[in-house]
Every structure is written in C-alpha cells, then in structure tokens.
Amino acid sequence: MLQRTERGQLKTVLVAGGAGFVGSHLCDALLAKGCRVIAVDCYLTGSEANIRPLKNHPNFRMIEKDICDLKVIDEPVDEIYNLACAASPPAYQADPVHTMMTCVVGTGNLLAIAQANGASFLQASTSEVYGDPEEHPQREDYRGNVSCTGPRACYDEGKRAAEALCFDMLRAGRVDARVVRIFNTYGPRMAPDDGRIVSNLVVQALSGEPLTIYGTGEQTRSFCFVSDLVAGLVKLMEVDPNPGQPVNIGNPGEFTINELADMVLAMVPTRSRIVHHPLPMDDPQRRRPDIDRAKELLGWEPRVALAEGLRQTVDWFSSTMPPEIRRRAGLPPIVPSRPRTDAPLSLGA
Ligand code: NAD
Ligand code: UDP
C-alpha cells in the first residue's frame, strides 16, 4: 500500500545517514510502508553495500553528500530522519571536529530544509547525553554527567547541542521536531571494523581472534535489536501530537560486557580467548534505559531478546564473512540457524 500525502503524492522521507547500519534498515522499513525514500550519506562509516539492494527500487533515491554541506533538496520532502553521524567511539573520535560539526551544522542544515518544506523532523540522539550516569536507570528528565572536554565530548556534547537546536526550532514553531535517545543498538549490517562491542566480539569469535574486553568487563550496557529500534523511530515520527520531549528507545535488559562475551563464546564455535585492554577514558560504567515514556506515548516496547538478536547477528556476520577466514583459523564453518537473506527484518506489529 503506497503512502500518499494530502497532495496525493507519495509521502517522501529523507533519511540522512541512510547508508549506515540503522539508516539502511530504516530505509527498508519506510519503502516497505509505501513511502518514497531519499537517502543522504557521505559514506563516512556507512557503506554502499547496505543500500545496494535498494538501488533499483523505483521509490528510492541516493544522494551522496555530507550534511554539513547540504543546503537544499531539489524535491519536496514530508519527513526527515537525521541519523547522519558516526556512532562508534573510535569512528566519532577519529575526526572529532567533523563529528561536532555534523551534529551542529549538519543538524542545523537539515532543520532548515525541514522548515522550508514544512516537514516533520526526527533527530537521532543518544544515551550518551547522560554521560557516565549517576542515576540508574536513566529517565529522560535526568540531565546527565558529561565531560565537555574529554575525548567523547565531540559526540556527547554535539548530540546535546543538536537536541537544543531541535527544541528551539520546535518552541519557535518553525519545525515539528522530535528527539529520540537511542541506547546501544546492534544487529546485521553493523560494520565489522567499526569498533563497537557487539560487532567486535562477534567478528573476533568468528575469526578465532582474542575477544577484547576493555577494563574489568563489569561495566554494563543494555542492548536493543535493530528491528525494535526502527519500529520505535517510526512510531515517534508518526505519533500525534508531537510529544515535545525526548524519548528513550532501548532494551532495558542490562548485561555486563563479560556476560555478553560469554554469550558470544557459547554461540560461536571458536578457539578465541578473552584478553583485557585498558578502559577508554570517560567510558560509562552503567547504562539502562527507563522506557516508561516510550511505552506510554508510543505504545512501544522491545520484542527481541538479546539471545535471539545475537543469534541473528552471528548468522549475518558469518554469512557475509569470507569462509577462508575461519578455514585459515582452523575453525569449522558456521551452520546458520536460518537461510541467508537480504530481505528487511520484520518490524512486528
Ligand atoms: P553508522 O555509523 O552505521 O551510521 C551513520 C551514518 O551516517 C553512516 O552511513 C555515515 O556514513 C553517515 N554520516 C556520518 N556523518 C555524516 C555526515 N556529516 N554527512 C552525511 N552522512 C554522514 O551508525 P548507526 O549505528 O547506524 O547510528 C545511526 C544514528 O543513530 C547516529 O546518529 C548515531 O549517533 C545514533 N545512535 C546510534 C546508536 C547505536 O547503538 N547504533 C546509539 C545511539 C545513537
Ligand atoms: N568494549 C570492550 N571491547 C571492545 C569494544 C568495546 O570491552 O572491543 C566496551 C567499551 O569500553 C564499553 C562497552 O564495551 O564499555 C560498549 O562499547 P561500545 O563502543 O559498543 O558502545 P558505547 O561505549 O558507546 O556504549
């Protein structure tokens, strides 16, 4: 069923960061809902492979551009999702000035495009706005404990500034802006080398390399499967009225990094052993979302348990990894629990 606007045209949705891990799944979901989708991405951390299956879709268009340089879009748009920003700590710290500019200048450019088009706007913010939290679990009204000078500041403070821009534009009546605070999300299409914990552990186990744990591994995170996140993003964009306040989207199941590593080792036949590396500066010690607001305002809660999502993630990485990597490491091939597919993940009801 195609989604049409009051003008009778196809609803056109711009996804900034559309070639990234989350963005490409969002593009799939929006096309499946019958929207026209314009992805904008500069391929900083995303990849052409993530959107290759969409290239011939009649309702899909790709624009290769940095959002810091994006001033106009040459066709009307009805909604803008801003997911453009490196998300993994090594990636966003590689060029911290560009990360900050992406958050501030890039978000400002997209908000201006939203205003010019009368489009609704959804900003992908992050649990990093809570920093190394002193309140647990994290509710949206907690103001956070963020270093504004440390190595994570380009991202944490950049995202906080982007939130401020969104709420200023909303209060001024200029843009129907919405803000989601995303907690650690994982799944197929994470870049194998982007340095985040789930992709690192799975790729290391599959290739027989040591599993790297930073610090004691007793720090915690709460892991959300990507289909659950995408369902939450779409609900927040579509909910009426605009909540006018940020909404946490994440899975409240909380695990230590040691527990996560044990799950990966139990799932992947491997010779890998655990090695410890120093804990990066300002690494948050505990993180778990309070999702009461998402439940109440969006009727949203996650459906995919970590064991199930991790299984799908392992299957995807093993099906995309060249088989000689396991052969060279003297490891048996992985038998996937389901056939490989490039089809979009089910978003549930
Ligand atoms: P990702 O790195 O896979 O995707 C980000 C995409 O944005 C990439 O395709 C990248 O090339 C593109 N990009 C980066 N800077 C850009 C720029 N200046 N102009 C145009 N494109 C640019 O990361 P992801 O996990 O898919 O994250 C998507 C969004 O969600 C990010 O904004 C991130 O901050 C936010 N987020 C993600 C998580 C998570 O756990 N995945 C958690 C919190 C917040
Ligand atoms: N981490 C780890 N080994 C790795 C990568 C990350 O122990 O190979 C730790 C990291 O120090 C942090 C947690 O895992 O405590 C989550 O890291 P990630 O980069 O995935 O996300 P973030 O720190 O942004 O939540």
Q: Which residues partner with 10 through β-bridges?
A: 4
* Average pLDDT for 195-210: 97
**Is ligand 2 within 6 A of the CB of residue 202?**
no
**Is ligand 1 within 6 A of the CB of residue 44?**
yes
Weakest mean pLDDT among 3-17, 70-84, 130-144, 289-303: 3-17
Question: Among residues 181, 202, 212, which one has the least CA distance to residue 90?
Answer: 212
Burial of 166 (0-12, 13-18, 19+ CB in 10 A): buried
- What pLDDT is attached to residue 332? 84
Q: How far away, in angstroms, is 215 Cα from ligand 2 center?
A: 10
Three-class DSSP labels, 228-287: HHHHHHHHHHHCCCCCCCCEEECCCCEEEHHHHHHHHHHHCCCCCCEEEECCCCCCCCCC
- What pLDDT is attached to residue 337? 66
To the nearest whole percent, how much of the chain has pLDDT over 90?
Answer: 89
To the nearest whole percent, how much of the chain has pLDDT over 70?
Answer: 96
**pLDDT tens digits, residue range 249-266?**
999 999 999 999 999 999
- Which residue has the CA at smallest separation from atom 35 of ligand 1? 124
- What pLDDT is attached to residue 39? 98
Residue to probe by mutation, ligand 2, list 154, 204, 214, most atoms within 8 Å of CB: 214
**pLDDT tens digits, residue range 226-241?**
999 999 999 999 999 9
- What pLDDT is attached to residue 215? 98
Mean of per-residue pLDDT scores for the chain: 95
**Is ligand 2 within 6 A of the CB of residue 256?**
no
- What pLDDT is attached to residue 348? 39
- What pLDDT is attached to residue 338? 58
**What distance in Å separates the CA atoms of residue 194 and residue 185, rounded to the nearest whole number?**
13
**Is ligand 2 within 6 A of the CB of residue 213?**
yes
Residues noted as catalytic: 155
Residue to probe by mutation, ligand 2, list 190, 257, 272, 279, most atoms within 8 Å of CB: 257
Q: How far away, in angstroms, is 96 Cα from ligand 2 center?
A: 18
* Average pLDDT for 136-162: 98
User: Residue 349 pLDDT more than 70?
Assistant: no
CATH T-level fold of 12-186+225-251+285-303: Rossmann fold (3.40.50)
**What distance in Å separates the CA atoms of residue 55 and residue 64, rounded to the nearest whole number?**
13
Helix 226-238 × helix 21-32 angle, to 10°: 60
Three-class DSSP labels, 30-53: HHHCCCEEEEEECCCCCCHHHHHH
**Which ligand gives the minimal distance to the CA of 182?**
1
**pLDDT tens digits, residue range 295-342?**
999 999 999 999 999 999 999 999 999 888 888 888 888 876 654 444
Q: How far away, in angstroms, is 122 Cα from ligand 2 center?
A: 26
**Is ligand 1 within 6 A of the CB of residue 84?**
yes
* Average pLDDT for 136-141: 98
Q: Is 97 helix (H, G, I), strand (E, B) or coil?
A: helix
Q: CA torsion sign, 232 to 117 to 7 to 55? A: negative
User: Residue 167 pLDDT more than 90?
Assistant: yes
User: Residue 168 pLDDT more than 70?
Assistant: yes
Q: How far away, in angstroms, is 286 Cα from ligand 2 center?
A: 11
Residue to probe by mutation, ligand 1, list 42, 48, 51, 83, most atoms within 8 Å of CB: 83
pLDDT-derived band at 283 (thresholds 50, 70, 90) equals very high
Domain ranges across the chain: 12-186+225-251+285-303
**What distance in Å separates the CA atoms of residue 200 and residue 204, rounded to the nearest whole number?**
6
- What pLDDT is attached to residue 342? 46
Q: Which atom of ligand 2 has the smallest separation from the CA of 201?
A: 8
User: Residue 217 pLDDT more than 90?
Assistant: yes
- Which residue has the CA at smallest separation from atom 13 of ligand 2? 197
Contact 260, 197 (CB under 8 A): yes
Q: How far away, in angstroms, is 197 Cα from ligand 2 center?
A: 5
Higher pLDDT pick, 59 / 347? 59
**Is ligand 2 within 6 A of the CB of residue 179?**
no
- What pLDDT is attached to residue 2? 84
Q: How far away, in angstroms, is 196 Cα from ligand 2 center?
A: 6
Q: How far away, in angstroms, is 94 Cα from ligand 2 center?
A: 16
- Which residue has the CA at smallest separation from atom 21 of ligand 2? 196
Residue to probe by mutation, ligand 1, list 22, 70, 95, 223, most atoms within 8 Å of CB: 22
